[in-house]
Structure 1
């Protein structure tokens, strides 16, 4: 059948290329009109569907990208389309290839067909692999939904704000367990995305633990495990992990987050729903995976227990190890300066992690993320969280840290902390936008991250 009509080398190449760009061209050239028109229609419908989805449902696509079930379907769909496309290319080549006598022509067109198939299969296989890696990350990091269903219409169950506890953990050599040296609550308005960050210093003392077994053991505030531990806020997580009777019924790995969420929530007067914890060394791996992070260092930073290095002042791109010390070092400074640098670092990473950078280092980034992050955010909440994050990007983020002179870390004024939290949320409620409400530059006022991190 394919020998009934002869095509020269030029025509064969042109028709094979055209069929790869628009299905059915080769079939029409050999007068197989029904098959050619059917292939063209299928191709046009496929492109129209893709363009419609990309343009009209772009936000929804981000939500689907964090759902394992849809990622599986995406992988299957990519494989099916790629196989169908290569099938069309091969069949088109067979219909229009030069005659057997033209050995050189057949060799060239065969090589062209193979190259076109590889051009189609390569990106599809890579995209399918990325989808599979994404599914693995979601399944590894985020627990499956619990017994309480997440409302489809309102994933936040009627709450005006949702509060996330963001932890930076440091498991230093020679110091058993994990210390949550960075503790920040992100309070997000679910309607507008308006966000205020509340930072708590690691060295808060006499922290009042939640009612129940924890408060019964420490009725006058948390005092630690003995003379070797001073009883600071950053010890609560590991203490709960080591003492299961404080959080009855919870397994290891969930005791620390549960008690710390309740404790921090009580301090701020906010219900803390979820937590995410980043291991500091793992955070360095994440930064290396995206090629470093650019920050402005206002004053030289000495780092290392034995003053091993120096980060000079100025705007520079930091490696993961350098960024780790940028957010970790207290040499010639203190906890409160370090807290400010940590917020700057997180803000810089969030702003600089553009889609192309993430895509180019996706697999390495995914591996580092699985090692570095733990959270109790359920998988079913991820689509809503993606949509909320898009709202947050369009707002001005405010920050309030409870550090001296605003509060004493030895004898904290818990009532003052709660009042300041309430005032901050009232000041930046949805009725007032960031443009309308210029923050006051005082220790007691929330300060825009853009004002402290350049």
Structure 2
């Protein structure tokens, strides 16, 4: 009984005080394999103790009712031991399978003291991909760079519209083919930014030496990084339909809808204004609907949705919905984040969640998507990411973040 009390206390402590560290272990296959084996051994040993105890203390001559009651109690105790350990072992297996399926191979030893190699900021390209039967290939209709301060977790989302034209290409074969900016292949193509991904997949010669499925992300990372003037280190791409499954797996997302949003191919749905919990399908349409609005309004909602998901995806929620979330993630997400970086990424994600998330969208009137000023874009990015000394503001003003006509970095108020 003393051992059992200590075990229960230890489990409760781990799940409450060390939930972030627990998630860090959940993304390490070696730990997951070891945990599954330990849990199996504990379950077998504990069950053996229960059965042995029953054999020692069972009533010798209490008749059938007494024996049935004692046997039923022993079976119930075995079930109480086996059920949670079996569930935990299953979760360990699912985690191990997800990490091996989704994340790239090891990138070499990561220095525990500084897994980011002294980098002040790490930049992730977040891609929302949409494919349809009447549309060949994949269109990256949502492109956002999350620039994260590795020390504090302070994050700025830099949004690029899908319809940027004549985007400068990175040095090498891509720039040699498009020296004056990307113009597409001329076949049902408008030469927009959201076509770069599929163009690279269809034309191996512009990204030599890179295998199928990786050429698109590789070229898009370099292209977006060149536009913003920052190195884009990793990417994560989510399929729109899979995104809805992921939202459902965590029980929906609570968000403020500032104005009614019509959604559905035939305008069959309406998201009324107000704060509510959206299902996966509703969240998907919240982020993609352009009815009675445009691409730029949609981009603002997408940043708001990313903000809301980041804040509400706490460790306990993720653990409770881990099985369903892992299944949806395997179908919906592709990324080049290496396995060895995952524990550090989990810790960084917790810091992100504890900080306000700012955003800067390069949309009209800030820029002209047909004739963008690339130097101006890079200047605004540098301005947004540079540390700015803060002075105490009057309380009345501090509660009202504002935006100038030039489009500085603003807080996403609708995600609160």
TM-score normalised by L of structure 1: 0.84
Output aligned runs, 1:36-55, within 5 Å: none
Residue in 1 that maps onto 2:188 = 228
The C-alpha deviation readout for 1:142-174, integer Å capped at 9, x for no partner, is 01114x543333211111111111111111230
Cα gap change, 1:62/1:310 in structure 2, threshold over 3 Å: closer, same or farther? closer
Residue in 2 that maps onto 1:115 = 76
Residue in 1 that maps onto 2:155 = 195
Residue in 1 that maps onto 2:44 = 83
Residue in 1 that maps onto 2:203 = 243
- The correspondence for 1:351, drawn from 307, 311, 325, is 311
The C-alpha deviation readout for 1:403-437, integer Å capped at 9, x for no partner, is 11111101111111111111111145xx6599899
1:375 Cα deviation (Å)?
A: 0.3
Partners of 1:76 and 1:433 in 2: how far apart?
A: 55
Cα gap change, 1:292/1:172 in structure 2, threshold over 3 Å: closer, same or farther? same
- The correspondence for 2:23, drawn from 43, 62, 78, is 62
1:441 aligned onto 2:403: yes
Cα gap change, 1:96/1:382 in structure 2, threshold over 3 Å: closer, same or farther? same
Q: Report the secondary structure of 1:411's partner residue.
A: coil
**C-alpha contact 2:19 2:316 (8 A) present in aligned 1:** no
Partners of 1:352 and 1:57 in 2: how far apart?
A: 18
- The correspondence for 2:214, drawn from 232, 238, 254, is 254
- Say which one has the larger Rg: 1
Partners of 1:435 and 1:297 in 2: how far apart?
A: 29
The C-alpha deviation readout for 1:194-228, integer Å capped at 9, x for no partner, is 11111111111110000000000000000011051
Say which is worse superposed, 86-95 or 69-78, in terms of deviation: 86-95
Higher relative contact order (CA 8 A, sep 6+): 2
- The correspondence for 1:399, drawn from 350, 356, 359, is 359
Partners of 1:286 and 1:343 in 2: how far apart?
A: 17
1:99 Cα deviation (Å)?
A: 1.2
Cα gap change, 1:306/1:177 in structure 2, threshold over 3 Å: closer, same or farther? same
TM-score normalised by L of structure 2: 0.92
**C-alpha contact 2:23 2:315 (8 A) present in aligned 1:** no
**C-alpha contact 2:307 2:357 (8 A) present in aligned 1:** no
Partners of 1:149 and 1:261 in 2: how far apart?
A: 24
1:128 aligned onto 2:117: no
RMSD: 2.4
The unaligned stretches of length 5 or more in structure 1 are 1-20, 23-39
The unaligned stretches of length 5 or more in structure 2 are none
Partners of 1:289 and 1:55 in 2: how far apart?
A: 22
Q: Report the secondary structure of 1:72's partner residue.
A: helix
Cα gap change, 1:179/1:222 in structure 2, threshold over 3 Å: closer, same or farther? same
**C-alpha contact 1:71 1:132 (8 A) present in aligned 2:** yes
Say which is worse superposed, 249-258 or 74-83, in terms of deviation: 74-83
Cα gap change, 1:357/1:446 in structure 2, threshold over 3 Å: closer, same or farther? same
1:44 Cα deviation (Å)?
A: 7.2
1:368 aligned onto 2:331: no
Partners of 1:267 and 1:130 in 2: how far apart?
A: 41
Question: Alignment length, in residue pairs?
Answer: 411
Q: Report the secondary structure of 1:177's partner residue.
A: strand
**C-alpha contact 1:294 1:317 (8 A) present in aligned 2:** yes
- The correspondence for 2:238, drawn from 278, 283, 291, is 278
Output aligned runs, 1:89-168, within 5 Å: 89-146=50-107, 148-168=108-128
